[in-house]
Structure 1
Amino acid sequence: MKNKFFKTLRVLLVEDEQRLSTLLKNAIGESFYSFNIANDGVEGLALFKKIVPDIIITDIMMPNKTGLEMAQEIRELNANIPIIILSAFSETDKLLSAIDVGVVKYFIKPFDLDELLDYIGSLEHSFGNRVVLLKDDFLFNKTKKVLYKKYKYIALTQKEKQFLSLLIDKQTEKSYILPYDEIKKKLWKECVSDERLRTFIRRFRAKTSKDLIQNIKGEGYQITVVEL
């Protein structure tokens, strides 16, 4: 379902026309997991580095740094992120420049919002099942091993990323519970005590939420994947 796919996406809109950016956020912002706005290419590039969005929608003509200049710099950091251009111009040279920096779609203003949403929906096949929604508005990218809570990136250690991946894999396998012994075996090369595992879990919960994972007494831990 398109709506389910949208709820896994973090969108970055880069637009210097405040009226249009506000209109877009009010009209479609709630359709997505998060919808962030930057006012020009400089701010857009900085926000891209901070939140690492899934899709970028940007104007071309903006002060400080154009959308194409920003797109060029983003392409050097991420070759695959979809970049959608919104522009009042339809000149061939700007269109060719957009293609050169890897823009995937070009909409001429004024554009139809439904067409924009339909295009974003068509990208679902290229994303696959790379993200899962969890309790308390957490989202985990299984490919990049990155955790977010709405607009905030949650920094995890390699072991914490591996632990979260193992928990989610158990849900996919319908095993549900990740046993204590399996956690110790997969996360540490050496033999570790129960107390060390409990300390690891306390730190993980302090970074995330005390309710994100559940302890099944005498068995192990499990996580709940949210179905939309």
Structure 2
Amino acid sequence: MKYHPLKLLQEMTILFAEDDPIMQDSIARILSTHFRHVLVAEDGAQAMELFNQQRPHIILLDIAMPRASGMEVATAIRQQDPDIPIIILTAHNESEHLFAAIRLRLMEYLVKPVSLDKLRSTFLHCVTELQQRGRIAVQLQSGATYNVNTQSVEWDGKEISLTRNEKSFLDFMLRHRNQVVDADRICFHIDPNHDMTNSGLRNLVYRLRSKIGNKSIVRACP
């Protein structure tokens, strides 16, 4: 299943953090023409809050911000998600930050002012990377295909209806492929208010297997 990068970009959510109100407004307007949703943060702490709450597809961070710099936010995000594309904006081309960018595997380290063409090409490169890392469409063991952007599943030519919790579960597990994740952490991701119990998680997995095949979820709970 192939998707055009530009169309995929228009379905995505980007998190943009910039403390300068004029620059923030200007770049946010540009982003709104490329992405379905633009999450705007005024400082590093708010950027982390939005990341944890909304789980965007791409991150764009100004390097100099109050309450956590762009590099500090990038470091915290990278600890949670090893693959999400992160782009840093800076007014200066400083070597120490460039070395940090390499260690964090940042997608780009852009020096302001950035041209519209450069931004667009960077975003499309992000989409290509997401595709290659299986973050766009994932083929499940049962043969079903999960579209990460739309959080929808297609199986045998039909779109399978999923509940909010089922979408949240699939998204979390696919972002933590090849990792050991305990049931409590999964429950907290699905419902931070602690209403999801281990028993409720087992029922969710049972229902989801009946929808998209037993082989789609080999092991979700201890």
Normalised by the shorter chain, which TM-score bucket? Answer: 0.5 to 0.7
- Larger strand proportion, structure 1 or 2? 1
Q: 2: distance between equivalents of 1:8 and 1:184? A: 25
| Matched residue SS, 1:157 | helix
User: Which residue, 118, 130, 136 being the options, matches 2:136?
Assistant: 130
Q: 1: distance between equivalents of 2:70 and 2:208? A: 48
Q: 2: distance between equivalents of 1:4 and 1:159? A: 21
Shift of 1:185: 8.8
Shift of 1:159: 8.9
Q: Is the 8 A contact 1:13 1:37 kept in 2?
A: yes
Name structure 1 gaps, 5 residues minimum: 132-139, 148-153, 163-182, 190-228
Residue 47 of structure 2 corresponds to which residue in structure 1?
44
Q: 2: distance between equivalents of 1:188 and 1:4? A: 26
| Matched residue SS, 1:80 | coil
Amino acid at match of 1:130: I
User: What is the RMSD of the two structures over their aligned residues, measured on CA atoms?
Assistant: 3.4
Name structure 2 gaps, 5 residues minimum: 138-144, 153-161, 171-206, 214-222
Q: Is the 8 A contact 2:151 2:167 kept in 1?
A: no
Distance 1:20 1:141, change over 3 A: farther
TM-score by length of structure 2 reads 0.61
Distance 1:45 1:155, change over 3 A: farther
Q: 1: distance between equivalents of 2:167 and 2:73? A: 34
Count of matched residue positions in the alignment of Structure 1 and Structure 2: 156
Residue 102 of structure 2 corresponds to which residue in structure 1?
99
Residue 69 of structure 1 corresponds to which residue in structure 2?
72
Identity of aligned residues (%): 26
Q: What does 1:166-181 align with in structure 2 at a 5 Å threshold?
A: none
Report whether the alignment pairs 1:186 with 2:189: no
Give CA-to-partner distance per residue, 1:59-97, whole Å, 9 cap, x none.
111111001111111111111000001000111111112
User: Which residue, 108, 112, 116 being the options, matches 1:113?
Assistant: 116
Shift of 1:8: 1.9
Shift of 1:121: 0.9
Residue 7 of structure 2 corresponds to which residue in structure 1?
4
Q: Is the 8 A contact 1:42 1:65 kept in 2?
A: yes
Q: Indicate the structure (1 or 2) with the bigger Cα radius of gyration.
A: 1
